[in-house]
A and B are shown apart, each in its own frame.
Chain A
Amino acid sequence: MLELISKPWPWYVAGPLIGLIVPLLLVAGNKSFGISSSLRHICAACFPANISFFKYDWKREAWNLFFVTGVLIGGVVAATFLKSNEPVAVGENLKSELLHFGVTDYSNLVPLQLFNFQSLFTLQGFFLIVVGGFLVGFGTRYGGGCTSGHAIMGISNLQWPSIIATCCFMLGGIIMANFILPIILSL
């Protein structure tokens, strides 16, 4: 059993399980599934700086911070007890593209040749880690949510602004991955 769940899970197992988080949070305490709000609560709790956007009772939203702490612990649990011995699944097309940029290490879900503390001091690492992270935090708040809040919770509740936002996530990602990222990877 442990061996079976240690293997990578197919989409038709993982997707429905993620979908079930929506009703579980609602039934557990009327909470709408969403992750990016946690970043706002962290700002409100730690650096409100008298900015009106961060002046609210973040303690009321503390469940969200408990939830993301759980996600982090979930990462520890999966990496410690459910570790797969197989290399990370990467398609041949992507492998041959990444080979041009010297990415050959498939031992981790995150390409450690690109994401490490030394690369932080290179222009390439700065774009991937610092600029990328900034855009995730700025974009999700400006857009009103992320993949969980808009794509999953919002569309589940048939909210058309969420459908538009999700299309924009995809469009932005397609532009970046196909046209801009190759330039950054060749830096």
Chain B
Amino acid sequence: MESIKNILTKVQSLPDTDFEVRSLDSVCINESQLIHPWWYNFKYVFLGIVFGVILVKSEVISWFRIQEMFRFQSFHMYGVIGSAIVVGMISVLLIKKFNIKTIYGEPITFHYKKFNKGNVYGGLLFGFGWALTGACPGPLFAQIGTGVLVVTVTLFSAIAGTWVYGLVRNRLPH
């Protein structure tokens, strides 16, 4: 049996020539160039609480709702995701059209996603996981909050999944 350390050294020693994969390294989430004290981040805790309450009260975190969605037995989840996309799309259009700035006066930037095969393979794998656990990453955190503590195991497993992806990604088709 190959020890993890051996695998690690092997992966590290692989020449990293795949530029398609390199481009995925960019984190591209925080576009802001401003440096703020850490406690400025508390406003995201507040927004997170709002999002978490919505997820619970709309039953988006319900394992049953997810099963009904994938079995075409209920419109609920399609309505939630569909109307969220419509509102999101209109908001993005308005931000672009009126050149709306952040509360700090910074221009808002959008990043453009480049297609790679991972969108298909990874998307399918995530779909499998979503139907099994009845939760995508956001609802995992909210489910733990509602007191279903066994979901912390699901969350740790998801972190392990992300870690293993980081370990083997140079060998995966992208």
Contact = CB atoms under 8 A, between A and B. Distances in A.
B122 A181 contact: no
A102 interface: no
A88 B45 CA distance: 27
Nearest to B60: A14
Contact of B81 (A76, A151, A154): A151
A60 B137 contact: no
Contact of A53 (B75, B124, B169): B169
Contact of A136 (B16, B114, B147, B158): B158
Nearest to B144: A72
Given A61-B27, A133-B157, A173-B70, A66 B162 contact: no
Contacts of B28: 32
B128 A175 contact: yes
B25 interface: yes
Interface in A148-187: 148, 150-162, 164-178, 180-181, 184
Given A67-B48, A128-B132, A139-B125, A147 B145 contact: no
A94 B63 CA distance: 11
Contacts of B128: 132, 135, 139, 172-173, 175-176, 180
Interface in A21-50: 21-40, 42-43, 47, 49-50
Question: Size band of the A side of the interface?
Answer: 35 or more
Given A11-B83, A157-B92, A63 B131 contact: no
B119 A40 contact: no
B132 A132 contact: yes
Contact of B158 (A24, A133, A172): A133
Contacts of A31: 29-32, 44
A150 to B, nearest CB: 8
Interface string B114-154: 11101111111111111111111110111111111111011
B123 A159 contact: no
A51 B11 contact: yes
A157 B83 CA distance: 15
B97 interface: no
Contacts of B64: 88-90, 94, 106, 109, 111
Closest 3 CB pairs of A and B: A74-B52, A70-B48, A172-B127
Given A136-B140, A177-B66, 20 more contacts: A14-B60, A15-B86, A27-B100, A35-B138, A42-B162, A43-B159, A51-B11, A82-B57, A108-B148, A110-B143, A136-B161, A137-B158, A144-B118, A151-B81, A155-B88, A157-B110, A164-B120, A168-B120, A171-B127, A175-B124
14 contacts: A29-B102, A50-B12, A62-B38, A71-B55, A73-B45, A76-B147, A131-B157, A139-B129, A147-B138, A160-B115, A172-B124, A174-B127, A175-B128, A176-B132
